[in-house]
Amino acid sequence: GFQIGGEVTDTMIILKDYDAVEAFSSDTQITMGTELSLSFGPLGRSAETDLHAGDGGVCTVFSYAHSKGLFVGISLQAALMFTRNDVNTAFYGRPVPPREILMGSLSAPVEKAEPLYRVLRKIEQAYGAKGG
């Protein structure tokens, strides 16, 4: 596809069912999909749908991204995705396979997750979300 520009992107990947979590749990995956992106300053948005295949199976994954920069593009793409075991080890203090993280088998170290919790509290306060 056609693409031009540069951007920094935060992406939320939506695993819609157990099969998607299983497929996403492998250490290496092949992904193919389509993406539509538009970014101008802090107002960037991106929507993507992909087919992921790995030793955990095959699934469709949807993602939504918020980006900053200057970028316009539409594309068909293919990529390899790898687990960053060094990052997981640094965060959890021991080697942790993706399956353990995605299945909720362990909890994040509170002190390392605090920046995320802070942001979530701000969002909750800003939008008036009520706990249930």
Q: Spell out a b/e string for 18-30, using b for 16 or more CB atoms within 10 Å of the CB, else e.
A: eebbbbbbbeebe
Residue 129 vs residue 68, higher pLDDT: 68
| Max avg pLDDT among 15-19, 60-64, 79-83, 87-91 | 87-91
CA distance 84 to 109: 18
CA distance 74 to 46: 10
pTM (2 decimals)? 0.53
- Tens of pLDDT, residues 22-78: 877 877 777 777 776 766 666 667 767 777 677 777 777 777 777 677 767 777 777
Q: Spell out a b/e string for 70-84, using b for 16 or more CB atoms within 10 Å of the CB, else e.
A: ebebeeeeeeeeebe
Name the token pair of 106: 């362990």
Residue 115 vs residue 42, higher pLDDT: 115
